[in-house]
Amino acid sequence: MDELSAIPDGTFDDIRAAVASVAGPFHAAGHGLYLVGGLVRDRLLRDDRTPDHDLTTDATPDRIRELVAEVADAVWLQGERFGTVGLRVGDVTMEITTHRAEAYVSDSRKPVVRFSSELFEDLARRDFTVNAMAVDVADGMLHDPFGGRADLETRTLRTPLDPVESFSDDPLRMLRAARFLARYGLTPADGLVDAARALVDRMEIVAGERIRDELFRLLQVEDPTAGFALLDDMGLLPVVLPEVAALTPPVREVLERRVAAADPGDAVLRLGLLVHGAGGRESLGRWSSAFRLSGREAGRIGTLLDGAAMLAESAPDGSPSDEEVRRLAARVGDQLDEVLAFAALVGVGPDGPALDRAVARLRGLGELDDLGPGMDGATVMRLLNLEAGPGVGEVMAWLGELRLSGGRLDDAEIRRRLLDHWGSGNG
C-alpha cells in the first residue's frame, strides 16, 4: 500500500482546526506535526467519541517545549523524559510526542526509549497497524505505510512489524491484542497467535501496574468475551488470570456472561465478578498483589464478596428477615445497592424483588440509618457505674447487637433493656 493516501474531504478538518494554532509554530520552524494513533483509527471508523488530541513530531522534546510556549495556555512536562509534552490551548488539551522507538530488552521492566526524526520508524514501533496511521496536520494526507486502513476495512488485527518482533519489543501488546479484538470485532492475522504463544514467558518482565491497566481496559469493552478467548488461544490466560483459566469451559462461560452483563463503565465491578467466580477472597489477595490494586479497589471488591456471601446464606425463596437486612447494611455500608446488584449478577440470595422491597421498606422506616449502638459510651458508664475499660467495650458490643437484632428502639426502651440485662439499677 502507498504510504500516502487521500481521505474523504472533511474527515479530520475539525481536529486539524482544533490544533492549528499549535501547528503554526511547528511548520514555521520546519517541523512536521501529525495526528496519530487511536484518534486516526476511530475517526476512520466514524466513531463519534470525543477524540484524544495525540500528535507526533520530529521535533525533540526540548524543542516541543519551546514551540508550544508561544501558544499554550498551560503546559505540563511530566512525560518530557519520554518525549511527551502536554498542553492546553483554550478548551483543547493535547499531547505532542517526539517520534520514537521503544523496546524492552532482556529482563528489564522499563522500555528503552530512543527518539527518531522519522515518522515511518515511529509508526513501525506501534502496536497494531490500525493504530499505525498518521494524518499530516498541514495538508490532511494520511500516512499509512503498514496498511492500517485496509485492516480496518477487513477487521484484521495485525502488527506493523513481524509479530514476534513486535511482541518481544513490548510483551504487553499481547494482552492489548485481546482488547482490540473484542472492542473492534477484529480477527487475528496469520502468525499473530503463534507468535504470542512463543513469547508468553516475556510477560514476566511487564510490571503488574501495566497489566492491571490493560486488564481494566479490556473489562471496559462492551463484551470482553472474545478478548478472553484470544488470551486463552495465545496461552496468556493462565499467566494473567490462572484461576479463570483453571475453570471448566461451562463454568467459565457462565462467568464471562455475568461479566458482559455488568456495567462496562465499571472495570472494578467486573473484576469483582471474575474474583467471585474464580476463588473469592483467596484470588482477591493474589490479584491485589499481582496487579497492585489500590486499597480502595481491593476494599470495594472485598465488600462485594462479603455482601454476596451473607446473602448466599439467606433463604433463596421469600423475603429476608429484617434482621438479615440490617446486618447486611451494617456490613456493607454505602455499598448496599451495589451489593444487591452484584448478588443478582452472581445469582445468590433471596428472591430479587422480595429483597428489594424489604430494603426499601426498612429504609423508609429509617431502620437502615445509623446502625451503630443506640447509646454512647459515656451514658453507658453513667448508667452502669462503670470505669473506662474493656467492660464498656463489651456493653457497647451488646448494644450494637441489640440494634441489629431488635431494630430501632427509643431511648427509654434501650435503657430498660440495658439495665435489665446488665443488672444495674443506677440512674
Closest CA to 83 of 136, 152, 36: 36
Per-residue pLDDT tens for 352-381?
Answer: 788 888 899 999 988 888 888 888 899 989
Closest CA to 122 of 137, 135, 134: 134
Confidence of residue 174 (pLDDT cuts 50, 70, 90): very high
Per-residue pLDDT tens for 244-283?
Answer: 999 999 999 999 999 999 999 999 999 999 999 998 999 9
* Secondary structure class of 5 (helix, strand, coil): strand
Asked if the 161-265+272-291 domain carries CATH number 1.10.3090.10, the reply is: yes
Domain-by-domain residue ranges, the chain? 1-154, 161-265+272-291, 295-364, 377-422
Give the range with max mean pLDDT: 99-103, 139-143, 216-220, 367-371.
216-220
Confidence of residue 78 (pLDDT cuts 50, 70, 90): confident
The residue type found at 16 is R
**Dihedral through CA 61, CA 67, CA 72, CA 76, nearest 10?**
20
- Within 215-365, strands assigned E span none
Rounded mean pLDDT of the chain? 90
190 pLDDT higher than 80: yes
pTM of the predicted structure, to 2 decimals? 0.86
Give the span between the Cα atoms of 371 and 366, in whole angstroms.
10
What are the backbone dihedrals phi and psi of residue 405, each rounded to the nearest 5 degrees, phi first?
-85, -35
Gap between the terminal Cα atoms of the chain: 92
CA count, 13 A, side-chain hemisphere, 308: 23
When mean pLDDT is compared across 79-83, 154-158, 349-353, 358-362, the lowest value belongs to 349-353
Give the span between the Cα atoms of 57 and 23, in whole angstroms.
10
Asked if the 1-154 domain carries CATH number 3.30.530.20, the reply is: no
Separation in Å, CA 398 to CA 114, 304, 319, 425:
66, 26, 26, 18
When mean pLDDT is compared across 49-63, 97-111, 195-209, 295-309, the lowest value belongs to 97-111
